[in-house]
Amino acid sequence: MSHPFVYDPVADIDNQIVDATTAKDFPAAVGARGFWISVRTAAIYITFDGSTPSATNGLELAAGQHPIYIGIPKDFKAFGSAASCPTAVLWVR
């Protein structure tokens, strides 16, 4: 059976602090076909269209979620729901 991607890390961005004051840019790693994101202590909001995420704009990821986005090798922005929202991103091929 063919799989859509092989676990082949391109770049690892660990312990990034996303906060509730400024949106943080996460540029896609060269060669990435998707990414895994780990939301650690408080919810964050992400957007893929270049708009600024907020509590009323974007996809909400709750604390403890670790979704994988395949086929979305593009930059995204993140905005926190609290003063400190540690987040990790792993770009994969």
**How far is it, in rounded angstroms, from Cα 20 to Cα 23?**
8
Whether residue 87 is contained in a domain is answered as yes
What's the total number of domains in the chain?
Answer: 1
Whether residue 51 is contained in a domain is answered as yes
Whether residue 47 is contained in a domain is answered as yes
* CB-CB contact of 32 with 93 (8 Å): yes
**How far is it, in rounded angstroms, from Cα 18 to Cα 4?**
30
pLDDT of residue 53: 96
Whether residue 62 is contained in a domain is answered as yes
pLDDT digits (tens, 9 = 90+) for 78-91: 999 999 999 999 88
pLDDT digits (tens, 9 = 90+) for 49-66: 999 999 999 999 999 998
Which CATH number is 73's domain given? 2.60.120.10
DSSP string over 20-47: SSS-EEEPPPTT-SEEEEEE-SS-EEEE
Segments forming the whole domain that contains residue 88: 9-92
Whether residue 50 is contained in a domain is answered as yes
Whole-prediction pTM:
0.84
